[in-house]
Amino acid sequence: MGLTKSSTGTKLLEDDFNNFKNDDGYTIALAGNPNVGKSTIFNSLTGMHQHTGNWPGKTVSNTTGKCNYKNLDFLFVDIPGTYSIMSNSEEEEIARDYICFGEPDATVVVVDATCLERNLNLVFQIMEITDKVVLCVNLLDEANKKKIKIDLELLSKELGIPVVGTIARNKKTLNNLMDTITKVCNKELIPHPKKIKYSSGIEDGIKKLEEALKTSFTLPDNLYRWISLKIIDGEEKILETIENNLSISIADNSVIQDTKNSIQNDLNQKNITTETFKDHIVSSIMKKAEKLCKKVCCFENENYSRKG
- Tell me the three state secondary structure of residue 23: coil
pLDDT of 15 over the 60 cut: no
- Tell me the three state secondary structure of residue 86: coil
Q: What is the mean pLDDT of residues 181-186?
A: 97
Apex 196 CA angle, 275 and 27, nearest 5: 105
- Tell me the three state secondary structure of residue 134: strand
pLDDT at position 227, please?
97
Q: What is the mean pLDDT of residues 277-282?
A: 95
pLDDT of 8 over the 60 cut: no
* Structural domains present in the chain: 4-185 (3.40.50.300), 200-271 (1.10.287)
Q: What is the mean pLDDT of the chain?
A: 89
pLDDT of 308 over the 50 cut: no
- CA nearest neighbour of 258 among 209, 203, 218, 201: 209
- 9 versus 104: the higher-pLDDT residue is 104
For 118-149, what is each residue's pLDDT tens digit? 999 999 999 999 999 999 999 999 999 999 99
Which stretches of the chain are assigned E, i.e. beta strand? Answer: 4-6, 9-11, 26-32, 50-54, 61-69, 72-78, 106-112, 133-138, 148-150, 163-165, 297-299
Task: Please list, in sequence order, all residues whose beta carbon lies within 8 angstroms of the beta carbon of residue 96, skipping any fewer than 6 positions away.
Answer: 85, 129, 238
User: What's the pLDDT band for 2 if we cut at 50, 70, 90?
Assistant: very low
Does pTM surpass 0.85? yes
For 37-63, what is each residue's pLDDT tens digit? 999 999 999 987 888 877 766 778 788
Measured between alpha carbons, how far is 132 from 220 in angstroms, rounded to an integer? 13
